[in-house]
Structure 1
Amino acid sequence: MTLTFTLDPAVGPALREGILELWTDVSNAGGAVGFVPPVTHDDVRPLLDKHLAGIADGSCRLLVGRDEDGAVAATAFLTHNTHRLQRHWLWAYTVMVHPRHQGKGYGRELMAATEAAARSVEGIDAVRLTCRGGLGLEHFYSSCGYKEVGRVPGAIRVAPGDDRDDVVMLLPLH
Protein backbone atom coordinates (compact mmCIF):
# COMPACT_ATOMS: atom_id res chain seq x y z
CA MET A 1 0.00 0.00 0.00
CA THR A 2 0.99 3.61 -0.44
CA LEU A 3 0.00 6.76 1.34
CA THR A 4 -2.49 9.26 -0.04
CA PHE A 5 -1.12 12.79 0.21
CA THR A 6 -3.02 16.05 0.48
CA LEU A 7 -1.39 19.46 0.34
CA ASP A 8 -3.18 22.19 2.30
CA PRO A 9 -6.03 20.08 3.71
CA ALA A 10 -8.76 21.76 5.71
CA VAL A 11 -7.64 21.58 9.32
CA GLY A 12 -10.52 20.52 11.53
CA PRO A 13 -10.59 18.79 14.91
CA ALA A 14 -10.07 15.28 13.48
CA LEU A 15 -6.97 16.26 11.49
CA ARG A 16 -5.61 18.26 14.41
CA GLU A 17 -6.00 15.25 16.71
CA GLY A 18 -4.50 12.93 14.08
CA ILE A 19 -1.39 15.10 13.79
CA LEU A 20 -1.15 15.39 17.57
CA GLU A 21 -1.30 11.59 17.90
CA LEU A 22 1.27 11.13 15.11
CA TRP A 23 3.68 13.68 16.58
CA THR A 24 3.40 12.22 20.08
CA ASP A 25 3.89 8.65 18.85
CA VAL A 26 6.88 9.62 16.65
CA SER A 27 8.47 11.52 19.55
CA ASN A 28 7.98 8.64 21.98
CA ALA A 29 9.52 6.24 19.48
CA GLY A 30 12.67 8.39 19.47
CA GLY A 31 11.90 10.42 16.35
CA ALA A 32 13.83 13.67 16.05
CA VAL A 33 10.86 16.05 15.75
CA GLY A 34 11.53 18.57 18.48
CA PHE A 35 11.13 16.46 21.60
CA VAL A 36 12.90 13.80 23.64
CA PRO A 37 10.74 10.97 25.01
CA PRO A 38 8.66 10.59 26.98
CA VAL A 39 6.12 13.20 25.87
CA THR A 40 2.38 13.53 26.20
CA HIS A 41 -0.23 15.20 24.03
CA ASP A 42 -0.07 18.14 26.43
CA ASP A 43 3.67 18.52 25.73
CA VAL A 44 3.21 18.48 21.95
CA ARG A 45 -0.03 20.49 21.69
CA PRO A 46 1.51 24.01 22.11
CA LEU A 47 3.99 23.45 19.29
CA LEU A 48 1.30 21.93 17.07
CA ASP A 49 -0.90 24.96 17.78
CA LYS A 50 1.97 27.22 16.68
CA HIS A 51 2.32 25.25 13.43
CA LEU A 52 -1.44 25.41 12.83
CA ALA A 53 -1.45 29.17 13.47
CA GLY A 54 1.08 29.45 10.64
CA ILE A 55 -1.28 27.53 8.38
CA ALA A 56 -4.16 29.81 9.38
CA ASP A 57 -2.17 32.98 8.64
CA GLY A 58 -0.82 31.62 5.35
CA SER A 59 2.84 31.51 6.36
CA CYS A 60 2.95 27.71 6.45
CA ARG A 61 1.62 24.86 4.34
CA LEU A 62 0.81 21.35 5.46
CA LEU A 63 1.34 18.09 3.59
CA VAL A 64 -0.51 15.13 5.12
CA GLY A 65 -0.15 11.47 4.19
CA ARG A 66 -2.97 9.12 5.14
CA ASP A 67 -2.74 5.35 5.28
CA GLU A 68 -5.24 2.85 3.82
CA ASP A 69 -7.45 3.30 6.90
CA GLY A 70 -7.53 7.09 6.47
CA ALA A 71 -5.38 7.69 9.55
CA VAL A 72 -2.76 10.44 9.56
CA ALA A 73 0.44 8.53 8.90
CA ALA A 74 2.89 11.23 7.76
CA THR A 75 3.34 14.99 7.68
CA ALA A 76 5.65 17.68 6.45
CA PHE A 77 5.24 21.38 7.05
CA LEU A 78 6.56 23.84 4.47
CA THR A 79 7.28 27.49 5.01
CA HIS A 80 8.83 30.26 2.98
CA ASN A 81 11.98 31.85 4.21
CA THR A 82 10.95 35.37 5.19
CA HIS A 83 14.30 37.02 4.50
CA ARG A 84 13.88 39.04 1.29
CA LEU A 85 17.10 37.67 -0.19
CA GLN A 86 16.21 34.04 0.54
CA ARG A 87 12.64 33.75 -0.67
CA HIS A 88 13.66 31.37 -3.45
CA TRP A 89 13.71 28.34 -1.15
CA LEU A 90 11.35 26.65 1.30
CA TRP A 91 11.93 25.10 4.69
CA ALA A 92 10.56 21.60 5.29
CA TYR A 93 10.14 20.77 8.96
CA THR A 94 8.38 18.39 11.32
CA VAL A 95 8.80 15.72 8.67
CA MET A 96 7.55 12.47 10.16
CA VAL A 97 6.12 9.03 9.44
CA HIS A 98 4.27 7.05 12.08
CA PRO A 99 6.46 4.36 13.70
CA ARG A 100 3.99 1.60 12.73
CA HIS A 101 4.73 2.42 9.11
CA GLN A 102 8.53 2.48 9.33
CA GLY A 103 10.25 0.30 6.76
CA LYS A 104 7.42 0.44 4.21
CA GLY A 105 8.94 3.12 1.98
CA TYR A 106 6.55 5.78 3.26
CA GLY A 107 9.42 8.09 4.19
CA ARG A 108 10.54 8.16 0.56
CA GLU A 109 6.95 8.72 -0.54
CA LEU A 110 6.70 11.63 1.89
CA MET A 111 9.92 13.18 0.62
CA ALA A 112 8.79 12.78 -3.02
CA ALA A 113 5.46 14.43 -2.16
CA THR A 114 7.33 17.22 -0.34
CA GLU A 115 9.47 17.80 -3.42
CA ALA A 116 6.37 17.85 -5.66
CA ALA A 117 4.70 20.36 -3.33
CA ALA A 118 7.78 22.61 -3.45
CA ARG A 119 7.94 22.36 -7.23
CA SER A 120 4.34 23.56 -7.41
CA VAL A 121 5.32 26.90 -5.85
CA GLU A 122 6.46 29.46 -8.40
CA GLY A 123 9.96 30.83 -7.85
CA ILE A 124 11.20 28.09 -5.50
CA ASP A 125 14.66 26.77 -6.36
CA ALA A 126 15.34 24.50 -3.38
CA VAL A 127 14.04 22.86 -0.22
CA ARG A 128 16.04 23.06 2.99
CA LEU A 129 15.60 21.04 6.12
CA THR A 130 17.57 20.29 9.23
CA CYS A 131 17.95 17.00 11.01
CA ARG A 132 19.41 15.79 14.26
CA GLY A 133 22.80 14.13 13.94
CA GLY A 134 23.55 10.80 15.53
CA LEU A 135 20.53 9.01 14.09
CA GLY A 136 21.61 8.51 10.48
CA LEU A 137 18.86 10.80 9.19
CA GLU A 138 21.26 12.65 6.93
CA HIS A 139 21.89 9.36 5.09
CA PHE A 140 18.16 8.89 4.52
CA TYR A 141 17.74 12.44 3.23
CA SER A 142 20.82 12.04 1.03
CA SER A 143 19.23 8.95 -0.52
CA CYS A 144 16.23 11.17 -1.36
CA GLY A 145 18.42 13.64 -3.26
CA TYR A 146 19.28 16.09 -0.48
CA LYS A 147 22.86 17.27 -0.01
CA GLU A 148 24.42 18.07 3.32
CA VAL A 149 25.36 21.76 3.15
CA GLY A 150 26.11 22.53 6.78
CA ARG A 151 26.58 21.08 10.22
CA VAL A 152 26.65 22.80 13.59
CA PRO A 153 28.43 20.49 16.03
CA GLY A 154 26.67 19.94 19.34
CA ALA A 155 23.85 22.39 18.59
CA ILE A 156 21.08 20.08 19.85
CA ARG A 157 21.17 19.06 23.50
CA VAL A 158 18.94 16.02 23.94
CA ALA A 159 20.19 15.37 27.48
CA PRO A 160 23.03 16.55 29.72
CA GLY A 161 26.21 15.27 28.11
CA ASP A 162 24.36 14.20 24.91
CA ASP A 163 24.77 16.93 22.32
CA ARG A 164 23.99 16.23 18.67
CA ASP A 165 24.88 18.01 15.46
CA ASP A 166 22.29 20.12 13.67
CA VAL A 167 22.65 19.01 10.05
CA VAL A 168 21.43 21.28 7.23
CA MET A 169 20.27 19.50 4.07
CA LEU A 170 19.35 21.04 0.70
CA LEU A 171 17.41 19.66 -2.25
CA PRO A 172 18.03 21.76 -5.38
CA LEU A 173 14.97 21.79 -7.64
CA HIS A 174 16.72 22.97 -10.83
Structure 2
Amino acid sequence: MNDNMTVRRVGADEAAGYVEALADVLIDCVEGGASVSFMLPISREKALQFWRDVVDGVVRGERVLLIAEDDAGRVLGTVQLIAAGAENQPHRADVAKMLVHRRARRCGVAQRLMAAVESAARDEGKSVLVLDTVTGGDAERLYDRAGWQRVGVVPNYALMPDGQFCGTTFYCKQIG
Protein backbone atom coordinates (compact mmCIF):
# COMPACT_ATOMS: atom_id res chain seq x y z
CA MET A 1 0.00 0.00 0.00
CA ASN A 2 1.34 3.42 -0.96
CA ASP A 3 1.39 5.70 2.09
CA ASN A 4 2.54 8.66 -0.04
CA MET A 5 -0.82 8.79 -1.78
CA THR A 6 -3.96 10.80 -1.21
CA VAL A 7 -7.36 9.78 -2.52
CA ARG A 8 -9.95 12.51 -2.61
CA ARG A 9 -13.08 13.84 -4.22
CA VAL A 10 -12.50 16.58 -6.78
CA GLY A 11 -14.96 19.44 -6.41
CA ALA A 12 -16.79 21.13 -9.26
CA ASP A 13 -14.73 24.27 -8.73
CA GLU A 14 -11.42 22.45 -9.32
CA ALA A 15 -12.29 19.60 -11.69
CA ALA A 16 -11.37 21.46 -14.88
CA GLY A 17 -7.83 21.85 -13.57
CA TYR A 18 -7.35 18.07 -13.70
CA VAL A 19 -8.35 17.48 -17.33
CA GLU A 20 -4.77 17.33 -18.64
CA ALA A 21 -3.54 14.94 -15.94
CA LEU A 22 -6.61 12.72 -16.25
CA ALA A 23 -6.14 12.58 -20.03
CA ASP A 24 -2.58 11.34 -19.40
CA VAL A 25 -3.93 8.51 -17.22
CA LEU A 26 -6.61 7.57 -19.76
CA ILE A 27 -4.15 7.51 -22.66
CA ASP A 28 -1.70 5.41 -20.63
CA CYS A 29 -4.41 2.89 -19.76
CA VAL A 30 -5.70 2.57 -23.33
CA GLU A 31 -2.16 2.28 -24.70
CA GLY A 32 -1.56 -0.39 -22.07
CA GLY A 33 -4.49 -2.43 -23.41
CA ALA A 34 -7.32 -1.46 -21.06
CA SER A 35 -10.82 -1.90 -22.50
CA VAL A 36 -12.33 1.36 -21.22
CA SER A 37 -14.45 2.48 -24.20
CA PHE A 38 -11.60 3.76 -26.39
CA MET A 39 -9.72 2.29 -29.33
CA LEU A 40 -6.11 2.62 -30.47
CA PRO A 41 -4.75 4.96 -31.45
CA ILE A 42 -6.35 7.30 -28.92
CA SER A 43 -5.77 10.96 -29.67
CA ARG A 44 -4.98 13.44 -26.95
CA GLU A 45 -7.91 15.58 -28.10
CA LYS A 46 -10.32 12.64 -27.72
CA ALA A 47 -9.03 12.01 -24.19
CA LEU A 48 -9.25 15.70 -23.30
CA GLN A 49 -12.81 15.93 -24.62
CA PHE A 50 -13.84 12.89 -22.60
CA TRP A 51 -12.58 14.52 -19.40
CA ARG A 52 -14.17 17.88 -20.29
CA ASP A 53 -17.49 16.03 -20.56
CA VAL A 54 -16.84 14.36 -17.18
CA VAL A 55 -16.13 17.76 -15.65
CA ASP A 56 -19.44 19.03 -17.03
CA GLY A 57 -21.16 16.11 -15.28
CA VAL A 58 -19.37 16.93 -12.02
CA VAL A 59 -20.47 20.56 -12.30
CA ARG A 60 -24.09 19.46 -12.90
CA GLY A 61 -23.92 17.15 -9.87
CA GLU A 62 -24.42 14.00 -11.96
CA ARG A 63 -20.98 12.51 -11.23
CA VAL A 64 -18.54 12.24 -8.37
CA LEU A 65 -14.92 12.34 -9.51
CA LEU A 66 -12.26 10.83 -7.29
CA ILE A 67 -8.52 10.95 -7.85
CA ALA A 68 -5.46 9.36 -6.30
CA GLU A 69 -2.40 11.63 -6.19
CA ASP A 70 1.14 11.05 -5.05
CA ASP A 71 2.88 13.45 -2.67
CA ALA A 72 4.18 15.42 -5.68
CA GLY A 73 0.60 16.04 -6.88
CA ARG A 74 0.76 13.65 -9.85
CA VAL A 75 -2.51 11.88 -10.62
CA LEU A 76 -2.01 8.13 -10.24
CA GLY A 77 -5.58 7.01 -10.81
CA THR A 78 -9.22 7.92 -10.85
CA VAL A 79 -12.73 6.52 -10.56
CA GLN A 80 -16.21 7.98 -10.95
CA LEU A 81 -19.59 7.50 -9.35
CA ILE A 82 -22.44 8.21 -11.75
CA ALA A 83 -25.92 8.67 -10.34
CA ALA A 84 -28.62 6.60 -12.01
CA GLY A 85 -30.81 8.86 -14.11
CA ALA A 86 -34.03 6.92 -13.73
CA GLU A 87 -36.67 8.31 -11.39
CA ASN A 88 -37.23 4.90 -9.81
CA GLN A 89 -33.51 4.41 -9.00
CA PRO A 90 -32.49 7.27 -6.72
CA HIS A 91 -30.66 4.75 -4.53
CA ARG A 92 -28.40 3.37 -7.31
CA ALA A 93 -25.18 4.52 -8.96
CA ASP A 94 -22.65 3.18 -11.45
CA VAL A 95 -18.95 2.96 -10.70
CA ALA A 96 -17.10 3.88 -13.87
CA LYS A 97 -13.68 4.46 -15.38
CA MET A 98 -11.51 2.95 -12.69
CA LEU A 99 -8.16 3.91 -14.19
CA VAL A 100 -4.71 3.52 -12.67
CA HIS A 101 -1.59 4.68 -14.51
CA ARG A 102 0.73 1.77 -15.29
CA ARG A 103 3.54 3.32 -13.21
CA ALA A 104 1.29 3.13 -10.11
CA ARG A 105 -0.14 -0.36 -10.47
CA ARG A 106 0.20 -2.97 -7.72
CA CYS A 107 0.66 -0.25 -5.11
CA GLY A 108 -2.86 -0.25 -3.64
CA VAL A 109 -4.17 2.66 -5.72
CA ALA A 110 -7.20 0.80 -7.10
CA GLN A 111 -8.05 -0.64 -3.68
CA ARG A 112 -7.98 2.83 -2.11
CA LEU A 113 -10.04 4.30 -4.97
CA MET A 114 -12.68 1.58 -4.55
CA ALA A 115 -12.95 2.20 -0.82
CA ALA A 116 -13.28 5.93 -1.50
CA VAL A 117 -15.95 5.50 -4.16
CA GLU A 118 -18.00 3.31 -1.83
CA SER A 119 -17.69 5.95 0.88
CA ALA A 120 -18.71 8.68 -1.59
CA ALA A 121 -21.72 6.57 -2.60
CA ARG A 122 -22.83 6.34 1.03
CA ASP A 123 -22.40 10.11 1.36
CA GLU A 124 -24.61 10.52 -1.70
CA GLY A 125 -27.30 8.25 -0.22
CA LYS A 126 -26.67 5.38 -2.64
CA SER A 127 -27.15 1.80 -1.49
CA VAL A 128 -26.78 -0.21 -4.72
CA LEU A 129 -23.69 0.06 -6.89
CA VAL A 130 -23.03 -1.59 -10.24
CA LEU A 131 -19.97 -1.81 -12.46
CA ASP A 132 -18.58 -3.78 -15.34
CA THR A 133 -15.09 -4.87 -16.29
CA VAL A 134 -13.33 -6.90 -18.95
CA THR A 135 -13.72 -10.62 -18.27
CA GLY A 136 -10.48 -12.25 -17.15
CA GLY A 137 -8.75 -8.97 -16.36
CA ASP A 138 -6.89 -8.01 -13.20
CA ALA A 139 -9.81 -5.87 -12.02
CA GLU A 140 -11.97 -8.95 -11.43
CA ARG A 141 -9.70 -10.00 -8.56
CA LEU A 142 -9.90 -6.51 -7.08
CA TYR A 143 -13.70 -6.48 -7.14
CA ASP A 144 -13.96 -10.04 -5.81
CA ARG A 145 -11.64 -9.20 -2.89
CA ALA A 146 -13.63 -6.00 -2.18
CA GLY A 147 -16.84 -8.00 -1.71
CA TRP A 148 -18.54 -7.24 -5.00
CA GLN A 149 -21.01 -9.83 -6.28
CA ARG A 150 -20.41 -11.18 -9.76
CA VAL A 151 -23.74 -10.99 -11.59
CA GLY A 152 -22.84 -12.42 -14.98
CA VAL A 153 -20.74 -12.36 -18.11
CA VAL A 154 -21.68 -11.21 -21.59
CA PRO A 155 -19.32 -12.71 -24.19
CA ASN A 156 -18.04 -10.41 -26.96
CA TYR A 157 -19.64 -7.40 -25.27
CA ALA A 158 -16.92 -4.93 -26.21
CA LEU A 159 -13.63 -4.55 -28.04
CA MET A 160 -10.15 -4.30 -26.64
CA PRO A 161 -8.24 -1.22 -27.85
CA ASP A 162 -6.61 -3.36 -30.57
CA GLY A 163 -10.00 -4.45 -31.96
CA GLN A 164 -10.22 -7.94 -30.44
CA PHE A 165 -13.54 -8.94 -28.86
CA CYS A 166 -13.70 -9.27 -25.10
CA GLY A 167 -16.31 -10.40 -22.65
CA THR A 168 -17.63 -8.13 -19.93
CA THR A 169 -18.33 -9.19 -16.36
CA PHE A 170 -21.00 -7.30 -14.44
CA TYR A 171 -20.85 -6.77 -10.67
CA CYS A 172 -23.08 -5.24 -8.01
CA LYS A 173 -22.68 -4.35 -4.37
CA GLN A 174 -25.18 -3.49 -1.67
CA ILE A 175 -23.69 -0.89 0.67
CA GLY A 176 -24.99 0.40 3.99
Does TM, normalized by the shorter one, top 0.5? Answer: yes
How far has the Cα of 1:12 moved from its partner? 5.3
Runs of 5+ unmatched residues, structure 1:
none
Kept after mapping to 2: 8 A contact 1:134/1:164: no
Kept after mapping to 2: 8 A contact 1:30/1:36: no
Identity of aligned residues (%): 23
Are residue 55 (structure 1) and residue 63 (structure 2) matched? no
Instruction: State the alpha-carbon separation in 1 of the partners of residues 16 and 158 from structure 2.
Output: 32
> Could you give the per-residue CA deviations for residues 15-67 of structure 1, whole angstroms, max 9, x where no partner exists?
11111111111211122322234323123222222212111222111111111
Q: Which residue of 2 aligns with 1:78?
A: 81
> Could you give the per-residue CA deviations for residues 101-131 of structure 1, whole angstroms, max 9, x where no partner exists?
1111111111111111111122x11221111
Q: Which residue of 1 aligns with 2:130?
A: 128
Cα RMSD, aligned residues only: 1.8
Are residue 141 (structure 1) and residue 143 (structure 2) matched? yes
How far has the Cα of 1:75 moved from its partner? 0.7
Cα–Cα, structure 1 residues 45 and 143, in superposed 2: closer, same or farther, change >3 Å?
A: same
RCO (CA 8 Å, sep 6+): is it higher in 1 or 2?
2
Q: Which residue of 2 aligns with 1:91?
A: 94
Q: Which residue of 2 aligns with 1:40?
A: 43
Cα–Cα, structure 1 residues 129 and 35, in superposed 2: closer, same or farther, change >3 Å?
A: same
With structure 2 as the length reference, what TM-score do the two structures score?
Answer: 0.88
> Could you give the per-residue CA deviations for residues 68-103 of structure 1, whole angstroms, max 9, x where no partner exists?
211111111111111122221111101111110111
Runs of 5+ unmatched residues, structure 2:
none
Cα–Cα, structure 1 residues 91 and 54, in superposed 2: closer, same or farther, change >3 Å?
A: same
